[in-house]
Amino acid sequence: MMRNILTGLAALALTACSTLAPLTLPVAHSNNAIAIAAGADGLTLYSFNGLRAGKTHTDVSRQAFACPVDTACRQLADVPVPEGRLASSAVTLNNTIYLFGGYSVAADGTEVSTPDVLAFDPMRETYTRQPDMPVPVDDAVIFTYQERYIYLVSGWHDDGNVAHVQVYDTQTQIWGRATDYPGAPVFGHSGGAVNGNIVIADGVAVIGRENGRRQFGAVDQVWLGTISLKDPLSISWVSAPAHSGSPVYRAASAGRPSANQVIFAGGGDNPYNIDGVGYNGVPAKPSSTVFAYDFDQNAWLDLGRLPTPSMDHRGLLIHGNSAYIIGGLDADLSVRNAITEFELEAE
């Protein structure tokens, strides 16, 4: 397996996605919800919903794929929802994958946030409907706590961002609402949590109106949260310094408990619509930067660079020292079928 060592305060080694051959999605997708779990073929990467190569409303997908890390990817039955979804969120808890919401796109461009929640059993490859989100959101940050709760932070709801922090109790199947996100409500932000410590960075806010149309802009903000040990709905929030460089939109991100860090990779430099062209008419450019917020040091760390810049991600998958990015958009705004694996510094 070939490795290229990256420079930075911590080192990364970029690898092929498998010792046999690089994994690729059977169909290129971006803005797809992703998760990792133990499936019938062993450790497996999963992709749900998203956007295919044409990047129009007819390319909004409900396709699903399973990619065992040691064999080829294969297509699963479509996600059992009426139409394709973008900006869904997924997370694995106790080897069940939970898939939340997203938004549909009509022929006239109308976008509707969807409330659906599904639990996917990776061993049986079956879905079970869960209670709907109280406030349907898409483009939210998702993470788990205490092997029981799933949090959705901020995000877009139909015609505006919300500050809600919605919490799903997987044991009781009851929704709750935690302390609101204190920053500007956003979509396309990134972040995660480890051991009840949260970091949320950047995102896109509504910054005004021009000729009756909403104007969107990137927000350079970072907030740290601490979930109460006694009450999972109580979060203490404090503002924190921004990471280096410009705000990133739809970066891949996830918590890495073994290092007490949240890892961020890639992302776009300009808020954009589904085709990758910015709301300001300027095509977005993807980043190759990988960085982390380290809760032990209370500081941002530069971890190096990806071999290929990419953006339009809905998550980052971490298993041991390996991290995976699935699909996305590349520098010429093409939808990717690549699965990029990079190795994090051993802890």
The model's pLDDT over 206-226, given as tens digits with 9 standing for 90+, comes to: 888 777 778 889 999 999 999
Would you state the pLDDT for residue 211? Answer: 76
CATH domain 4-344 topology:
Neuraminidase (2.120.10)
Q: How far apart are CA 65 and CA 122, in angstroms?
A: 11
Q: Span 241-252, mean pLDDT?
A: 96
Q: Which residues partner with 142 through β-bridges?
A: 152
Domain ranges of the chain: 4-344
Considering only 1-15, 159-173, 238-252, which range has the smallest mean pLDDT? Answer: 1-15
Would you state the pLDDT for residue 21? Answer: 55
Angular region, 146: left φ>0, alpha ψ -120 to 50, beta rest? left
The closest of 244, 241, 317 to 9, measured between CA atoms, is 244
Would you state the pLDDT for residue 207? Answer: 84
The model's pLDDT over 12-24, given as tens digits with 9 standing for 90+, comes to: 444 433 334 578 9
The model's pLDDT over 54-64, given as tens digits with 9 standing for 90+, comes to: 999 999 999 99
Would you state the pLDDT for residue 10? Answer: 39
The model's pLDDT over 74-132, given as tens digits with 9 standing for 90+, comes to: 999 999 999 999 999 999 999 999 999 999 999 999 999 999 999 999 999 999 999 99
User: Is residue 327 scored above 50 in pLDDT?
Assistant: yes
Q: Span 315-332, mean pLDDT?
A: 97
Specify the 3-state DSSP secondary structure of 278.
strand
User: Is residue 29 scored above 70 in pLDDT?
Assistant: yes
Would you state the pLDDT for residue 182? Answer: 98
User: Is residue 51 scored above 80 in pLDDT?
Assistant: yes
Would you state the pLDDT for residue 163? Answer: 98
Would you state the pLDDT for residue 5? Answer: 29
User: Is residue 344 scored above 50 in pLDDT?
Assistant: yes
User: Is residue 294 scored above 60 in pLDDT?
Assistant: yes
Whole-number average pLDDT of the chain:
92
The model's pLDDT over 175-188, given as tens digits with 9 standing for 90+, comes to: 999 999 999 999 99
Q: How far apart are CA 334 and CA 126, in angstroms?
A: 31
Q: How confident is the model at residue 145 (pLDDT cuts 50, 70, 90)?
A: very high
Would you state the pLDDT for residue 214? Answer: 81
How many beta carbons lie within 10 A of that of residue 174, not counting itself? 10
Angular region, 333: left φ>0, alpha ψ -120 to 50, beta rest? left
Q: Is 29 exposed, middle or buried (0-12, 13-18, 19+ CB in 10 A)?
A: buried
Count helices and strands (H / E) in the chain.
Answer: 0, 31
pTM of this structure:
0.94
The DSSP secondary-structure symbol of 107 reads T
